[in-house]
Structure 1
Amino acid sequence: MDLRQLRTFREIAEAGSLSRAADRLRIAQPALSRQVRLLEAEAGLPLFTRHGRGMELTEAGRELLARVAGPMRQLEGAIAEVRALSGVVAGQVALGMMPTVAAVLAGPLSRRVAERHPDVSLRVVEGYTGHLIEWVQRGATDATLLYGAATDFHLPVRDLFVEGLVLAGPAGSGLAPERPVTLAAAAERPLVLPSRPHGLRAIVETAASRARLTLNLRHEADSFLVLKDLVVCGLGFAILPRSAIRREEQEGRMEIAPVIRPAIRRHVVLALPPDRAPGRATEAVLALLAEEVAARARDGDWRAIGSD
């Protein structure tokens, strides 16, 4: 087994097709097929199921990919760090985010990285809190954003920002920023919430439980885009960070009202892998992330931790 075989295996798994992987790697398909056969022979099990639509990982293939993705990223990062001794910050950085944060941060942060460090490739990975923790622990991501106070995690953690949540409803629902609603009143509305693995669902349910309230849950949506569509279509109300629905609010497709008694806030932190320090490319991206958070705080969207 060598790194070339593992890189071929990873590319085919991500592309889902030998031809697409060949195009990405600019290597002839027969050469890729040979690398896969050698790896399967060494593993002693088939790693892919071949079918007319492409190639799909077997159970053994999924297990191998989960185990090698982190170490491969670390090896590739080590090479990038050596190249960076020339003075140029370069390499690939994978940053995990929750969907409602990615909706606000992914685009502006990617632009900052492209402008300031053109040799750095940023990959934003969306996921639930449980997945984000797992990915950063095994090295599949270089850093990740998470919900919760820094003391909640057994990981190196940096505080980022706090943001209040609002009740969001469709146009014509009568909500207004100058007329807050109590959590008790919000709980009585037909609610659209993410499913339980989602950190935002946990924040809302924890607040309701502490206030001894029962939520009137009507719909669940794992996709943030679907959740917003359900609200816009008038199928229910959602409790969301205002920054993530600014566009819908400005376009008049959603109305919002702050939630009070009690106010609900999300606390966002940055978590790093437990077993290695961030490389130069990662630190460069994290510095730009801090700049973007500070800019959002100045605009009033968030309260950066440590600010007045």
Structure 2
Amino acid sequence: MEFRQLKYFLAVYEEGSLTSAARRLNVVQPALSQQISKLEEEIGRPLFSRTPKGMLPTREGEEAYTRFSGIIRDLETASQALSGDQQQIRGTVSIGVVASVANKALGETLQKFVLKYPEVRVKATGGYTTDLQEMLRTSRLDLIVVNAPPHLRDPRMVDIVTEDLCLITSSDTGMEFDGPVSLQRINELKLVIPSQRHGLRLIMDRAAAEQNIALAPRMEFDELKLIEDFVRATDYFTILPPIAVFRALRQGHLKAYPITPDIPRRLVYVSNPARPLSAAAEALIAEIREDMIEYSFDVERQLRDENGLSEV
């Protein structure tokens, strides 16, 4: 089993076709196909099903990817570090992010990142915190950006930003509030929020339970973009972290009100302690962290200005 074969296998798995993988690796397709066949012969089982729609991984292929992906990325990281080639950051970064980051903020960050680091390939996956944690544990991801309880301290977690959830509504709804809004009052509104399988909903329910309140939304959508579009087009309200809808807030399509008492959402990134981050991964998370802080600051300032709040 050769390093080249494993590298080729990962490319075919991630691209889903021999043509795209060959283009990515800058090799001819017959040579790539030959190496995949040799790897399958050595393992003794097919790793892909060849179909008209592409290369679909078999169950053994899924398991092989889980086992090999972390090893290959570690070898690439070690090779770059030992070669002393630190001027040109390159490589592949697999990152998982919760929906409240992936919704809008991550897209803008990645647009800037690819211009700054053209030799870095990014594979971004959205999902729920528990799913992303499992993918990190099995080395399918290099790092994850997830929600964490405000008081939980874990050496694997590095804080990115902490922001308070807000009451969000359309700017055209006609209803306004003087100052922060209580959860009791919010619970009387036409509310659309994520379901209880969503990490943000757990934060909301925990805060409501502390005040002996059971949230009673009329609608539950787990897709945050769907919630944003629904609120913009109706007289419904939602509870979300401002970063999740920062662009619509900045453009004036949505309006945010602070909630009392505060409901903090803590955003952290986590990596596998057994596998050091590559230079490419460190560069990416640095960009994400910087942008999240900037977005949070901008929205907080806008929130203060629109609601006449003094700066603390």
Structures share a fold, TM > 0.5?
A: yes
Deviation at 1:286, TM superposition (A): 4.2
Deviation at 1:62, TM superposition (A): 1.6
| Counterparts of 1:102 and 1:210, CA distance in 2 | 29
1:216 matched to which residue of 2?
216
Q: Could you tell me the TM-score, scaled by structure 1's length? A: 0.81
Whether the 8 Å CA contact 1:172–1:255 is kept in 2: the answer is no
Give the count of matched residue pairs.
301
2:268 matched to which residue of 1?
269
Deviation at 1:194, TM superposition (A): 3.0
2:73 matched to which residue of 1?
73
2:48 matched to which residue of 1?
48
| Counterparts of 2:100 and 2:213, CA distance in 1 | 25
| Counterparts of 1:282 and 1:136, CA distance in 2 | 14
1:305 matched to which residue of 2?
none
Consecutive unaligned residues in structure 2, runs of 5 or more: 302-311
Judged with a 3 Å threshold, the aligned counterparts in structure 2 of structure 1 residues 61 and 122 are, in CA distance, closer, same or farther, namely closer
Instruction: Say whether 1:230 aligns with 2:230.
Output: yes
2:162 matched to which residue of 1?
162
Q: How does 1:139-218 map to 2 (within 5 A)?
A: 139-149=139-149, 152=152, 155-176=155-176, 178-218=178-218
Whether the 8 Å CA contact 1:183–1:263 is kept in 2: the answer is no
Whether the 8 Å CA contact 1:90–1:281 is kept in 2: the answer is yes
Whether the 8 Å CA contact 1:168–1:254 is kept in 2: the answer is yes
Deviation at 1:276, TM superposition (A): 3.3
Deviation at 1:6, TM superposition (A): 2.2
- State, as a whole percentage, how many aligned pairs show the same letter: 32
| Counterparts of 1:61 and 1:151, CA distance in 2 | 40
| Counterparts of 2:150 and 2:2, CA distance in 1 | 39
Whether the 8 Å CA contact 1:69–1:139 is kept in 2: the answer is yes
Deviation at 1:195, TM superposition (A): 4.0
Whether the 8 Å CA contact 1:193–1:227 is kept in 2: the answer is yes
The 3-state SS of whatever aligns with 2:80 is helix
1:257 matched to which residue of 2?
257
Amino acid at match of 1:276: R
| Counterparts of 1:296 and 1:283, CA distance in 2 | 20
Deviation at 1:273, TM superposition (A): 1.6
Consecutive unaligned residues in structure 1, runs of 5 or more: 303-307
| Counterparts of 2:245 and 2:177, CA distance in 1 | 13
| Greater Cα offset, 266-275 or 125-134 | 125-134
| Greater Cα offset, 31-40 or 279-288 | 279-288
Deviation at 1:119, TM superposition (A): 4.8
Deviation at 1:136, TM superposition (A): 3.1
| Greater Cα offset, 144-153 or 193-202 | 144-153
| Counterparts of 2:296 and 2:231, CA distance in 1 | 27
| Counterparts of 1:220 and 1:289, CA distance in 2 | 29
Backbone CA RMSD of aligned residues: 3.1
Deviation at 1:296, TM superposition (A): 4.1
1:128 matched to which residue of 2?
128
| Counterparts of 1:71 and 1:56, CA distance in 2 | 22
| Counterparts of 1:124 and 1:88, CA distance in 2 | 24
Whether the 8 Å CA contact 1:173–1:255 is kept in 2: the answer is no
| Counterparts of 2:266 and 2:32, CA distance in 1 | 46
Q: Could you tell me the TM-score, scaled by structure 2's length? A: 0.80
Deviation at 1:38, TM superposition (A): 2.2
Judged with a 3 Å threshold, the aligned counterparts in structure 2 of structure 1 residues 122 and 81 are, in CA distance, closer, same or farther, namely farther
The 3-state SS of whatever aligns with 1:243 is helix
Judged with a 3 Å threshold, the aligned counterparts in structure 2 of structure 1 residues 87 and 175 are, in CA distance, closer, same or farther, namely same
